[in-house]
Amino acid sequence: MTTQRFSVSALLPGVALTFALALAARFGSSEITSILMDGKASPVSPVLLGIVFGILWRHFIGLGSNAGQGVQWTLTTILRIGIALVGLRLTLSGLASVGPAAFAVVVACITTALVVSKVIGRLLGLSSVMQALLAVGSAVCGCTAIVATSPAIRARPVETGAAVTCVVLIGSLGMLTYPWLAAAVLHERTLAVGIFLGSAIHDTSQVVGASLIYAQQFGSPEVVGYASATKLFRNLSIIILVPLMSWSTRPRMQSASSEPVACRQALVPQFVIWFVVFVLVRTLGDELVTTNTQAQQTWLQAVSAAQVMSDLLMTCGMTAVGLTVSLTQLHQVGFRPICAAVIIAAATATCSLGIMSAFG
């Protein structure tokens, strides 16, 4: 598995642009709070502003040829570091409290996405490959699932590109709207909100963005950890789904014997491993400092500082997401895949929200 190397000079313009827009978003949110809300919770979170600033910059000013690499590096490396640090918000006991409910909801949502994609795909005349890509992209982990599944089912580049575009655009819409939907339906049930956001939104970055928006809007930072843990269960489900999709599209296959290794490499990125490591660090740290008041205060200050850093890095990463969103790609995909993707996403979100409303 090859990795792409960038020089500092190539990365600097894009990274500087992303950080500048992220800082402008944090400043804008702070100013709105002080002017309009008299110090209360801001009606516009820094993450939401960062995404909007990124989209506006891309469409009205443009990235330029020298900023693309830095923006992409921020979207991958910087965002993943921020996501990994989210692990410090959870302990093993906290992760265990999320696990049973999250697992049940994730299984129900994945089943819903697979069934709906098959039915709607046939009604709209989509190929079995496109049905599979939209299903895993909506149900599992967005672009990562599509990229991991494409080689195993011999997807054509045009099919992969169309599926990725649908997932990015529709997942971004969910990222911007689901936090308010969760607040309206689930109210202040933070565990239910976290599981809903973690199970209903497509890509990992979009889940993090939505949970951060909710946390910043409604003062519930623990939602970020709950949503991230739920998303972890979804990511791991691709171990089963890739062979399933390979089998379901076997008429298109010539030989899949070498694909499972590549898919496993794409499945468990390092930031997921580090997320679990930081959960263990938080658990051990909390246990070791319980008998020492001074050590406990120092430890909590360190954890708080890491969480502030995590929020900043993820705000930068989500700003980079905004800089990569291209609404003009809708014209290139066509009506049928977008229509199918919208229906699959709506069915998955309805399934998750219905379960959490009834049993959350």
3: three-class secondary structure by DSSP = coil
What per-residue string of b and e applies to 290-314 under the rule 16 or more CB within 10 Å gives b? Answer: eeeeeeeeebeeebeebbeebbbbb
Domain enclosing residue 57, as ranges: 9-359
User: Does any domain span residue 283?
Assistant: yes
Largest CA distance in the chain: 66
3-29 pLDDT, tens digit each? 455 577 788 888 999 999 988 888 887
* Cα distance between residue 360 and residue 355, in whole Å: 7
Q: Are 352 and 139 in contact (CB under 8 A)?
A: no
Residue 112 CB contacts under 8 Å (≥ 6 apart), including other chains: 139, 347, 348, 351
- Give me the pLDDT at residue 256, please: 41
Q: Are 186 and 360 in contact (CB under 8 A)?
A: yes
- Give me the pLDDT at residue 178, please: 92
**pTM of structure:** 0.66
DSSP state of 256: -
User: Does any domain span residue 227?
Assistant: yes
- Give me the pLDDT at residue 2, please: 42
User: Does any domain span residue 2?
Assistant: no
* Cα distance between residue 13 and residue 41, in whole Å: 33
* Cα distance between residue 77 and residue 211, in whole Å: 19
User: Does any domain span residue 28?
Assistant: yes
User: Does any domain span residue 1?
Assistant: no
Number of structural domains, the chain? Answer: 1
**CA 31, chain centre distance (Å):** 28
* Cα distance between residue 251 and residue 265, in whole Å: 25
User: Does any domain span residue 4?
Assistant: no
Of 315, 106, 138, residue with least CA distance to 229: 106
User: Does any domain span residue 151?
Assistant: yes
By 3-state DSSP, what share of the chain in percent is helix, strand and coil, each rounded to 5?
A: 85, 0, 15
Segments in the chain below pLDDT 50:
1-3, 37, 39, 252-267
Map tokens 């956001």 to a residue.
Answer: 197
User: Does any domain span residue 3?
Assistant: no
